[in-house]
Amino acid sequence: MSNRPVLEESPADWRSDPDLRQVEVVVCTTAGTFVGHAYRTSRLRLLDALNKGFAVHGTHIAMDYIPMTEVRMHLPDGTQHDMASAHIRKASVFFVAERKGGQPEGDTSKFGKVIVAKKPVDARLCTMRHVLDGRLHSAAWAELVTSLYQKETFMPLTNVKVQPPLLTGESEFGFMAVNNDKVVYVGEAVD
């Protein structure tokens, strides 16, 4: 029999980590649209937190679910529900659109960081519910098709126009993380 003490935490404890940063997001899922705050650490982008999860108080979280607080859920029938918190299963997410707060702050020096030259490509992504027109960013040496075969769950899309508009009425976002498993097709725009 183990003598280890049982760890008891209140559900709010993970949010008390001083390294956490709130990100204002709109999460479009198979069940509805969630608006609220997702989280990342001070050194991670929202995209990195979505793809890899993050550690709070030494415990890795956000692997399969996106933890959110101050949530308003918009349902297809027009009703809305407010929740103090919700954990959204990543497998049900079409995309996560960033309103603000998704980039690390602080030291902007390039020392000690790996910098990868990116090449934006105008593209159209289609999910079962929305058409997303925006810019995919892949390594400068990669073709569009090469950048689609990646191990990460979410791919970045910038300068996004969404059709039809979301249940919130929004249709334009500066940044969006799109779930690869929910994309029906990706087309490169013709100049």
The pLDDT assigned to 105 comes to: 67
For residue 165, give every residue at least 6 positions away whose Cβ sits within 8 Å of its Cβ, in sequence order, or none. 171
Tell me phi and psi for residue 160, to 5 degrees: -95, 135
Q: Where are the beta strands (DSSP E) in 4-45?
A: 20-29, 33-41
**CA–CA gap between residue 69 and residue 62 (Å, rounded):** 13
pLDDT tens-place string over residues 95-136: 999 998 667 766 545 544 555 667 788 999 999 999 999 998
Strand order in the sheet with 20-29: 80-89, 65-74, 33-41, 20-29, 93-100, 172-179, 154-163, 131-139, 118-126, 185-188
Model confidence over 33-74: pLDDT tens digits? 999 999 999 999 999 999 999 999 888 899 999 999 999 999
* Domains contained in the chain, CATH given: 13-106+113-188 (2.30.30.100)
Say whether the peptide bond before residue 18 is cis (omega within 30 degrees of 0). no
With a CB cutoff of 8 Å and minimum separation 6, the contacts of 89 are: 64, 65
Quick check: 152 and 178 in contact, CB under 8 A?
no
